[in-house]
Copies of this chain bind each other. A is one copy, B any other.
Amino acid sequence: MDETDKTEHYQARIEAALDRWLPDLDTAPRRLHEAMRYSVLGGGKRIRPLLVYATGEALGTDPEMLDAPSVAIELMHAFSLVHDDLPAMDDDDLRRGRPTVHKAFDEATAILAADAMQPLAFHVLSSDPALTAHPGAQVTLVRLLADACGSEGMTGGQAIDLASEGTRLDAAELEHMYRLKTGRLIRVSILSAAACPPQPDIEREHALERFADALGLAFQIRDDILDVEGETDVIGKQQGADEARNKATYPALFGMEHARARVAELLETALAQLEPFGAGANYLAYLARVIAERDH
């Protein structure tokens, strides 16, 4: 398989796994499950699950074990998008080219649908038959995901982001916010694969951590660049939305040229960490390049 085929293969795999774990529409409460399915199955590039499977390739992990962390991480990502879009937060009408959940349904349903995705994520990690023989790995996966999403992770990053509107952050503060808001969930995608057997030795684990840290930050700065440069119909949300809200972003604070240079530097750092993994990490390296150079 070439890399494009592989991406399609894994995207189909995660799509099927998400569909399998999400409650179907015959299960009550129907409207809540409809909203959950609408937000989770509404497209998306599935970058985090792709990173889980790609890291698993580099480590020789059975992909059967990687479905649960892939699903759990994507559910937590979907949860955060639904709440970030709420009127009290970023107040967005459009997501992935479709009405946001509170627009397509209503605000209470959007809050609750996302609220229910968190327990579903932990249900998947604690219930998938492919992992039950490895309770120690399950506990690690739960802890990694919980820590990535809490007040000192993704949710804390969103709180700092909201609080920073209209203020001027310095580079360290901005990068700290990015590491929490986006970086932690990118990071956990890579570390979750490493938490499944066969676990890598400590040196390879540290290399993967450095890879993940650099890639997570590159991802968010690239996102900022796209918000300035992209067109609404390509990026699927309102272009310039960050600027309109007077949000702290990398290009706004440091200029487009510096932002691009920082992404290139981070990509180089990330790729250097993959050397010890040899050809097994080719697809992971490919994904890193796609993430740092994507146009949507």
Contacts and interface: CB of A to CB of B under 8 A. Distances in A.
Interface of A: 23, 27-29, 31-33, 36, 79, 83, 86, 88-89, 106-109, 111-113, 115-116, 118-123, 125-127, 132, 135-136, 138-140, 142-143, 145-153, 155-156, 158-160, 162-163
Given A135-B138, A146-B126, A151 B108 contact: no
| Residue among A31, A138, A146, A147 with most chain B CB within 10 A | A146
Nearest to A153: B119
Contacts of A111: 83, 86, 88-89, 111
Contact of A149 (B86, B89, B119): B119
B122 A152 contact: no
Given A112-B158, A126-B143, A142-B126, A119 B120 contact: no
Contact of A123 (B125, B135, B136, B146): B146
Contacts of A136: 135
Contacts of A119: 118, 145-151, 153, 155
Nearest to A135: B135
Contact of A29 (B29, B132, B148, B160): B160
A178 to B, nearest CB: 14
Nearest to A140: B126
B116 A151 contact: yes
A123 B153 CA distance: 12
Dominant SS among interface residues on chain A: helix
A159 B118 CA distance: 16
B159 A120 contact: no
Contacts of A152: 23, 27
A156 B120 CA distance: 12
Given A28-B160, A86-B111, A123-B146, A36 B139 contact: no
B112 A159 contact: yes
Given A119-B146, A138-B139, A36 B108 contact: no
Contact of A135 (B36, B89, B113, B139): B139
Contacts of A151: 23, 29, 32-33, 36, 113, 116, 119-120
| Residue among A27, A122, A148 with most chain B CB within 10 A | A122
A163 to B, nearest CB: 7
B112 A126 contact: no
A88 B32 CA distance: 15
